[in-house]
Amino acid sequence: MPVEIKELHIRVTVNAPSPSQSAGTRADAGNGNPAAGGDSGANREAMVSECVEQVLNVLQNKLER
């Protein structure tokens, strides 16, 4: 007998950056500049491709059922 989930609660806790980081470092971290502490373009591409692969696997598994 299959189980049907009608309601799903997801709780996420995000930790604030430590006070030792300056405001300028946090602002520069998101622009893709590796010297500023952000992810490099190649690292970001690898992460995106891994996420896409996992989503496609989940969708394929749903179609097989």
Q: What pLDDT score does 15 carry? A: 82
Specify the residue for token string 């622009």.
31
CA contacts within 13 A on the Cβ side of 20: 0
* Average pLDDT of the segment spanning 46-55: 92
Q: How confident is the model over 2-48, as pLDDT tens digits?
A: 888 788 888 888 887 777 755 555 444 555 554 545 557 888 888 99
Please state whether the predicted TM-score (pTM) of the whole model is above 0.75.
no
Kindly state the average pLDDT of the residues 46-56.
Answer: 92
Domain boundaries in the chain?
40-65
Give pLDDT, residue 26: 47
Give phi and psi for 10, each to the nearest 5: -120, 130
